Structure 1
Amino acid sequence: MSTRLRNALSAALIALACLLVPFGALAAWASYGLADTGRYVTAMAPLASDPAVREAVADTVGDQVVAETDAGPPLRPFVRDAVRSFTATDAFRTAWDSANRAVHDAVLRAVRDGTGGDVHVDLAPVAAQVKARLAADHVPIARHIPVRHTEVAVLPGNELERLRRGFTVLEVAGFWLPVSAAVLALAGIAVAACRRRAVTAISLGTALGGALLALAVAIGRRLTLADLPDDVHRPAAGAVYDALTGTLRTVSWLLVAVGLTVALGTWLLTRRRQPSAPRP
C-alpha cells in the first residue's frame, strides 16, 4: 500500500472516530446515567438543598395543601412558610429521594416491560412519610395532610412508545458507539504512515468533539428552558437540567483536557527527537 493511500485511509478512519466521540459520550451518558435509577437519584439528591427547587416545592405543595384542606387563601402564606421550613429538614431530603426513585422506577419499568397506557406512580408512601415527620416536629398542619393512594400520571401513554424506541436505540448505541470510536482510532493509527501525526490528529479531534459536546449541552439548556410552559418555575427547571447533565459536562471537558494534553505531549516528544542542526 502506497504512503498516499495509507494516509488517506488513516485520515478517513480518524475522522470517523472523532465524529463518533461526542455521540458516543452522549449515548453512554443517557444509557448508563439517566437510565440507571441509583445514578439518577444520586444526581437529583443535591437539588433538595437548592434554593430554587425548594422555592418551587414550597409554591406547589403549599397550594396543594391549601386546596386539599380547604384552608382558604388567608392561610396560604402560613402554609407556604411551613412547607418552606420543611424543605430545610432531613425528612424533606428523604422524601425527595423517595419520590424521585418512585417516579424513575415507574417510568423505567413501563419502558422495559412494554406495558401500554399512561404511567402512574402512587406517592401515598411519600406523603405518609412526610406527614409522620411533620407530626413528630409538632407542625400544626400535619394532621390535615391527607394520605390517599392517589396515582399521579408521570408519562402519557402516547409518549411511551416513542420513549421505548429511543431507549432501545440508546442501550445499543451507549455501548457500541464508544467501542466503534476506539476501534476506528486504533485502526487509523495502525495504517498511518506517520503514527505520531495520527495520534496528534486523534487527540485534537477528541478535544474538538469534547468542546462541541459542551456547547451542545449549553445550547440544549437554553432551548429546554425556552420551551417550558409559563407556569413552570424556570430557575428550578434549570437546576434540574444542570444536575442531570453534570456528568456529561464533566466528560466533555475531560475529553478536551485529555485530547489537548496528548497532542501537546506528542508534539513535545517529536521536537525532542528531532536532530539538532550541526553548528558551523
Structure 2
Amino acid sequence: MLLVAALLAPVSLAGVWARDQLTDTGRYVTAVAPLARDHTIQNAIVDDVTDGVMDHVRLDGLLSAIPRPQRPALRERFTRGIREFVDKQVRQVVTGPSFPAVWRQVHRTAHRTLDATLGASGDAPVRLDVAPIIERVKHQLSANGLGIDIARRVPHTGTEIVLLPAADVPRARAAYQAVRATARLAPPAAALCLAAGLLFARRRRRALTAAALLCAAATALLTVALVPVRSQALDALPHAVPRPAAAAYTDALTASLHTGTTGLVCGALVTAALAAGSGPVVRAVRGVLRKPHGG
C-alpha cells in the first residue's frame, strides 16, 4: 500500500495539473499571458497574421495598365513591398502596449471553446480565432494612407488557426475524460493507501521514511520522463508550426507542473529526513524520562 501511495503521488500531481490546464480557463490564461511578450511567439503571430492579410491583397487592377510581359516582375516587387509594409504594421500591433490584453482575450475564448468541445459530443475542430488581432491590424493599416485599400479588403472574420483538427477530437476527448477521472480519484486513493500502510506497519517511522523516498524517486522519474515527451510532442507538430514558438508555449504550460514536481520531491525528502532522524531523538527523550529522579 505504501508503494502504491508513492507511485500515485506523482500521478495525482500530473492529473491535477492537466485538469487545471484543460478545464480552468483562468489558470490557462494566467499560464500563457507572459507569452505575449515572448519574441518567438510575437514573430510567429506576425507571420501568421501577415499571411492572413496578404491572402486578400489583389494587384490585378493595379497591374492592368502594365504591359503583360512586365507584370510578373512588377507583381513580385509590389507583393514584396506590400508584405514588408503589412509586416511592419502587424509588428507594431503585436509589440504594442495593448497587445497583452488582446492576447488574453483570444486565448480565453479559445480555451472556453476547447473545454466545451471536449466536454460535449461532436467532432468539430477547435480553432484559435485571431480576429481581435486582425481588427487591431486593420486599424493600424487604416491609420496610414497606404493601407486603406488593404484594410478594406480584409474580412471581419479574421484569421483562424486550427488548434485541434476534427480527426483528433475523439482521441483528445478520451484523454480529457481520463485526466478528469485521474485528478478526481488518484489523490484520495494515494492518501488512503498511505494512511492504511502506516496504520498496519510495525515500524511506522521506517515505513514513512521508505514511502517518502519512494515518492521522491517516482516523482524524479516523472520529471526525467517529461524531457523526451516534450521533444516527441514538438517533433510531431506540423512543419508549418514554428518550433521555437511551440517550445515556448509548451514550457509556459508545463511550468506549474515542473514547480509541483520539484516541490513534491523536496517535500518527500524532507519528510524522509525528519522521519529517519526522529527515531534517535525519541529514544533519547525516552531514556531521559526513564532515569530515576534524584539519583
User: TM (normalized to structure 2)?
Assistant: 0.80
Matches within 5 A, 1:150-189: 152=160, 153-189=162-198
Runs of 4+ in 1 over 6 A off after TM superposition: none
Residues 1:263 and 1:34: Cα distance change in structure 2 (over 3 Å): same
Q: Higher mean Cα deviation, 199-208 or 162-171? A: 162-171
How far residue 60 of structure 1 moved from its aligned partner, in angstroms, is 2.0
Aligned counterpart, 1:14: 2
Aligned counterpart, 2:89: 82
Deviations 1:74-116 (A, max 9, x none): 2323322332232211332122112212221112112222134
Q: Higher mean Cα deviation, 113-122 or 56-65? A: 113-122
Q: What stretches of structure 2 of length at least 5 have no aligned partner?
A: 59-77, 288-295
Distance 1:263 1:121 in 2: 46
Aligned counterpart, 2:102: 95
How far residue 138 of structure 1 moved from its aligned partner, in angstroms, is 5.8
- SS of residue in 2 equivalent to 1:223: helix
Match of 1:117 among 119, 124, 137: 124
Distance 2:47 2:191 in 1: 49
Matches within 5 A, 1:22-101: 22-70=10-58, 72-101=79-108
Matches within 5 A, 1:206-245: 206-245=215-254
Q: Which amino acid in 1 is paired with 2:20?
A: Y
How far residue 143 of structure 1 moved from its aligned partner, in angstroms, is 6.7
The reply on whether 1:106 has 2:113 as its aligned counterpart is yes
Q: Higher mean Cα deviation, 85-94 or 171-180? A: 85-94
Is the Cα–Cα contact under 8 Å of residues 106 and 130 in structure 2 kept in the other structure? yes
Q: What stretches of structure 1 of length at least 5 have no aligned partner?
A: 1-12
Residues 1:85 and 1:269: Cα distance change in structure 2 (over 3 Å): same
Residues 1:22 and 1:258: Cα distance change in structure 2 (over 3 Å): same
Residues 1:120 and 1:230: Cα distance change in structure 2 (over 3 Å): closer
Is the Cα–Cα contact under 8 Å of residues 16 and 184 in structure 1 kept in the other structure? yes
Aligned counterpart, 2:138: 131
How far residue 168 of structure 1 moved from its aligned partner, in angstroms, is 1.7
Distance 1:125 1:81 in 2: 18
How far residue 236 of structure 1 moved from its aligned partner, in angstroms, is 0.8
Is the Cα–Cα contact under 8 Å of residues 58 and 83 in structure 1 kept in the other structure? yes
Residues 1:93 and 1:139: Cα distance change in structure 2 (over 3 Å): farther
- SS of residue in 1 equivalent to 2:168: helix
Distance 1:261 1:147 in 2: 59
Is the Cα–Cα contact under 8 Å of residues 207 and 260 in structure 1 kept in the other structure? yes
Between the two proteins, the alignment pairs up a number of residues equal to: 264
How far residue 129 of structure 1 moved from its aligned partner, in angstroms, is 4.7
Residues 1:140 and 1:258: Cα distance change in structure 2 (over 3 Å): farther
Aligned counterpart, 1:144: 150
Deviations 1:234-258 (A, max 9, x none): 1111100000101110110011100
Q: Which amino acid in 2 is paired with 1:46?
A: P
Match of 1:201 among 210, 213, 220: 210
Matches within 5 A, 1:260-271: 260-271=269-280
Greater Rg over alpha carbons, structure: 2
Residues 1:137 and 1:261: Cα distance change in structure 2 (over 3 Å): farther
How far residue 216 of structure 1 moved from its aligned partner, in angstroms, is 2.0
- SS of residue in 2 equivalent to 1:228: coil
- SS of residue in 1 equivalent to 2:55: helix
Compute the RMSD of aligned alpha carbons. Answer: 2.6
